[in-house]
Amino acid sequence: MTKKTNLLCIALMMLFLCARADEGMWLPYSINGQNLADMQRLGCKLTAEQIFSFNQPSLKDAIVQFGGGCTGELISPEGLLLTNHHCGLSYVQAHASVEHDYLQDGFWARSKAEELPNEGLSVLFLTYIEDVTTSVLNGVTDKMSEKERDAKIAENSKKLRIEKKGKRDVRVEIVPFYHGNQYILFVYDEYKDVRLVACPPWGIGKYGADTDNWTWPRHKGDFCIFRVYTAPDGSPAEYSKNNVPMKSKHYLPISLKGVQPGDYTMILGYPGSTDRYSSSGAVKNIIDLEGPAIVSCRTTKLEQYRKHMDADPAVFIQYASKQASVSNYWKYYIGQVKQLKQNKVYEKRLAQEQDFRDWMIGNVERAAKYKGIFDEFDNYWNHQNQYTKALIYNREAGWRGGEAVTFALRFRQLNAAIEKKATPDQIKKLAQGMKPSVKDFFKDYNKALDRDVTIALLNLYYKDVNPDQLPTMIKKEGDKSHGDFTAFVDNAFAKSILVDENKVNAWLDNPKSLSKDPIFALMYNILEAYWVLSEQAETVSKDRADRLYMEGLMEMQKDRNFYPDANFTMRLTYGSVQDCEPRDAVTYSYITTLDGVMAKYKPGDWEFDVPKDLIKLWENHDYGQYADKNGDLVVNFITTNDITGGNSGSPVIDANGNLIGLAFDGNWEAMSGDISFEQQVQRTICMDMRYLLFIIDKMANAQNLMQELTIVK
């Protein structure tokens, strides 16, 4: 183990000597040496300590993990927090109604007293990092099976987490890197009182919606503003009227300078997941099976959403956030499959694997060490490919398909307690604990829409999945009805309590077994099928092959930039503002302007309508100090930074540490980027901070917020 760890450490040191400016999601605490020199050569004027330090305030203290899936940053001394509109949309939607349509009209708190609390929303501040590889792998040997290895790692990790946490109210995570060749411990402070401060109207924050998603040029004001509150002593606390705005340890000044081609850009945030060192089999699985299956299910779901949302404004409010969530990765997988093919990523992985084989057999020790890993890959993917489609349909069209079926999942624990004859007090406690979530579910539930979604998805499920892999209930009903689940769903919705709030609450007051409820029974039958399929799929593993392949690649390609795959830990990327030439005879400018917004404007269109106040400001060319040197108002710009999902809401920071943009998307030509970084065409799409200030100042006239910001020219 010592020899392996030493080899890994050498490889980790080498990776910092060969970084290219734009590719790479770096661990910010490791930014030093050549890596920092490259950043400074591109224009960065900050020291490593100014970027990341535990000893003094630094940029990292302004960055938060937002809501479990996005990034945010502090922009004032009083805990004002900026993130993307699409990250905050579900919280805005929860406060919206037909009478107070914060989705369409926007929301602006004119004082702290008007800021709105958000149940379940929290942000994490990173407070400590430690490489714990040696401790986690203590006692692990090459003679262990993967099951034994995993058990030992889990045992060691649990002890470490308990030890590091102690009696402190903190979150401790131990995260694997490089496919289990390295382990790093992270400690976070979690703040649970996060209040909504401002959100632009739909025609700004969601402008372009599905049509423009994942594409450039963009014209979107993708921002939402919150505030972090603490207990009076500054410590993290649950919501309370006695809480006070956070005193920011560090916050980002906002620059009015604007951007030019070649300007240095740095992004700090929490990218979710990449898989850039995977085998060719993983790429082929996405192209042939995973991507098409997800697209098929979500296309079907979105068709029903759109039909009902277009017909009723109240349904639009209820389902705006849900539709956006489904749609985002629907279009993502369309683009990913297309660009994986276009960029020949599968062929590139095959070539890399052949290089590895040639390198491996050129040395007796290497041949012995890495023997069999490609057989393991082939065996795994040949096995997994038999289950991929069925597992995805089971999830996307099954237990996460119709909402009532998904809702039924919440009742499993209570129903199990009833059937196991738990004490009346235990059952009552569980039942009463569910009532708040029932109220939340039905607030944004439309039975007619869910009926149509459920019918369409079950029809698709039955038609597309191998009959031997269907849940027994779906196969039986589909065979009987020739694949038309209309009557089955109508009957289930008529008899089930789970589509009626009053019936659910009445049941919770006197709970009895739900096993014969048709929707609960359908849910459980789908879930049981999923368990069986998952167990069958997991009988073959590639964990050992992944780990050894990663180690071997790092040994073989000592001059390659082996930054770790994204895994929702804080990362830093650096690059520059640049145009983009995605294909022959096509050049995209690095900026878009408000003129471009108005060129797409379609009155009454849910994607391309804009607020009247914005139109008036455009007609009068009333941009004030936020116009560029040509008198235009820049809306969005693009950079060469390397980001992925989870980076939504990340700050785009200039050479001096000022906020110049808000990252919110990637471009269509590089949708294969989570698997393979495309050096020539990969771009990060950002909202210009001048557009943010223009909306706050000129359109919303939210002077209470303007007075709180630090603006540099």
pLDDT of residue 11: 37
Q: Based on the domain organization, do 577 and 531 belong to the same domain? A: no
Q: Given 537, 557, 580, which residue is the final one in a domain? A: 537
Judgement on whether residues 439 and 308 belong to the same structural domain of the protein: yes
Where on the phi/psi map is residue 668: left (φ > 0), alpha (ψ -120 to 50), or beta? alpha
Do 508 and 593 lie in one domain? The reply is no
In a domain, 494, yes or no: yes
pLDDT at 15: 35
What is the tens place of the pLDDT at every residue in 555-594? 999 887 789 999 999 999 999 999 999 888 999 999 999 9
**Pairing relation of β-strands 711-712 and 254-255?**
parallel
**Interatomic CA distance for residues 263 and 438, integer angstroms:** 51
| Same domain assignment for residues 361 and 464 | yes
pLDDT digits 0-9 by tens, 646-667 = 999 999 999 999 999 999 999 9
521-526 CB contacts, 8 Å cutoff, 24+ apart? 521/473, 522/405, 522/408, 522/473, 522/474, 522/492, 523/399, 523/405, 523/406, 523/408, 523/409, 524/408, 524/412, 525/471, 525/472, 525/473, 525/474, 526/394, 526/398, 526/399, 526/405, 526/471, 526/473, 526/474
d(CA 259, CA 655): 11
pTM over 0.85: yes
Do 320 and 419 sit in the same domain of this protein? yes
Q: 585 and 515 in one domain? A: no
Residues 429-469 pLDDT 10s: 999 999 999 999 999 999 999 999 999 999 999 999 999 99
Residues 87, 501: Cα–Cα separation, whole Å:
28
Task: Find the mean pLDDT for residues 132-158.
Answer: 96
Residue 9 pLDDT level (bands cut at 50, 70, 90): very low
Neighbours of 529 (CB within 10 A): 23
Tokens representing 195 are 């209040």
Q: What is the pLDDT of residues 76-92, one digit of tens each?
A: 999 999 999 999 999 99
Predicted pLDDT of residue 22: 80
pLDDT, the chain, mean: 94
pLDDT-based confidence at residue 19 (cuts at 50, 70, 90): very low
Q: Which CATH number does the domain housing residue 633 bear?
A: 2.40.10
**Residue 628 domain flag:** yes
Do residues 365 and 305 both lie within one domain? Answer: yes
Q: Reply yes or no on whether the pLDDT at 21 is more than 70.
A: no
Selection from 504, 647, 651 nearest residue 62 by Cα: 651
Query: Three-class SS of residue 39?
Result: helix
In the block, tokens 């000592």 appear at 558
The DSSP letter of residue 420 is T
Q: Which domain range does residue 640 map to?
A: 571-712
Asked, for residue 509, whether it belongs to a domain, the answer is: yes
Same-domain status, 509 and 601: no
User: Vertex 664, ends 661 and 669: CA angle to 5°?
Assistant: 115
Backbone angles phi, psi at 588, to 5 degrees: -105, 130
**What per-residue confidence (pLDDT) applies to 448?**
98
Same domain for 476 and 588: no
Q: What is the mean pLDDT of residues 501-506?
A: 97
537, 563, 581: which is the final residue of a domain? 537
Q: pLDDT tens, 403-426?
A: 999 999 999 999 999 999 999 999
Angle between helices 543-556 and 345-361 (to 10 degrees): 80
- Whole-number pLDDT of residue 35: 81
d(CA 564, CA 513): 48
Distance from C-alpha of 605 to C-alpha of 296, rounded to nearest angstrom = 26
How far is the C-alpha of 156 from the C-alpha of 160, rounded, in Å? Answer: 6
Catalytic residues: 86, 222, 648
Alpha-carbon gap, residue 12 to 561, rounded angstroms = 9
pLDDT at 247 over 50: yes
pLDDT tens readout for residues 259-275:
999 999 999 999 999 99
**Cα angle vertex 351, ends 349, 355, to 5°?**
115
Domain total in the chain:
2
Instruction: List pLDDT tens digits, range 326-338.
Output: 999 999 999 999 9
CA distance 549 to 547: 6
Residue 13 has pLDDT above 50, yes or no: no
Which of 519, 537, 555 delimits the end of a domain? 537
Say if residue 102's pLDDT is above 90.
Answer: yes
